[in-house]
Amino acid sequence: MLVPPKLGASWEGFALEEVIRQNGADEDEVYFWAVHHQAELDLLIVRGGQKLGFEFEYGSTPGMTSSLGRAYELLAPDNITVVYPGDKDYRLADNIWVRGLKGYLA
């Protein structure tokens, strides 16, 4: 099967915008967060003392990564959600979940 080389990045950008819209986040509440060579989150929504982290993966079965664990350790967010194009939701660790985009937006 041929897959366009930019499909993953395109899907991740689309999903990020949809999650921002779903959460009703303003532009001053959304961030990309990274620690040089240690961890990153594609999206961090900070609103009224609440921190919601998001990672976007164009894959079929996202798993736990050291980057997710480190992000959780350093930021202490309320939760981190890994959003992917699948339809199964499952837990990776305490307060770290994988959710399909369609289910998240429902």
Average pLDDT per 10 consecutive residues for the chain, totaling 106 residues: 81 97 97 91 96 95 94 95 97 96 96
Q: Which residue has the tokens 């009703």?
A: 24
Cα separation, 74 vs 60, whole angstroms:
27
Say if residues 96 and 82 touch (Cβ distance below 8 Å): yes
- Supply the pLDDT for residue 1: 63
pTM: 0.93
Domains of the chain in sequence order: 7-105 (3.40.1350)
